[in-house]
Amino acid sequence: MLFGLTIIPPHTHTNKNNATQDVKSSIIQAPKVLATPNSKASILQKIASCTPIIGLLVVPLVLYQKRAVAKKYKELEYIPCNKCPHTRCSLLDPSNLNIVLSASLLGGLGLLFPFIILLLAMVAIIALVEKIRSCCQRPPQQLLQNPLQK
């Protein structure tokens, strides 16, 4: 399950522009990764996002979570942010998913770059060997002619 019901108790909320407002208690469906960052599912998602190829599979999942969070937060009269002193509200900041998204993308691609470089090096070596073999098998016509015969 990607989402869980999270209760945000009434508190004095601080917006990104440092404005404060009193907000009432609300229940919202939020990604479990944001609501409980130290849970097993969250830790497994972080590990999966750092592994090659699997990290690329995590990217659509995080994008889905980000879109769903944007829809759910429209129901609230405020958007949770990191500047809020209330810990649960600050954990539910949608920008926290940007970190997971970046880690998934870089982790998924990060270890593929050496393989791509290795593959390009292998192709270059094979092309060079084929070029040398083709030169050795069919000597050029100019070398067959004796230059002293003129």
Report the C-alpha gap between 79 and 104 in whole angstroms: 24
Helix axes 54-73, 40-50, angle to 10 degrees: 130
Whether residue 122 sits in one domain with residue 108: no
Statement to judge: residues 58 and 129 lie in one domain:
no
Residues 8, 38, single domain; the answer is yes
- Is there a single domain that holds both residue 105 and residue 130? no
Residue 32 token pair = 């479990």
Both 80 and 117 in one domain: the answer is no
CA distance linking residue 31 with residue 33, whole number of Å: 5
Is 0.85 surpassed by the pTM of this model?
A: no
Count of domains forming the chain? 2
Q: Which structural domain, as residue segments, surrounds residue 137?
A: 113-149
Tens of pLDDT along the chain (150 residues) come to 478 888 888 999 888 888 898 988 888 888 887 888 888 888 888 878 877 888 889 899 889 888 888 888 888 888 888 888 888 888 888 888 888 888 888 888 876 567 667 888 999 999 999 998 888 776 556 555 665 655
Same domain for 118 and 51? no
- Cα–Cα–Cα angle for 83, 7, 69, nearest 5°? 65
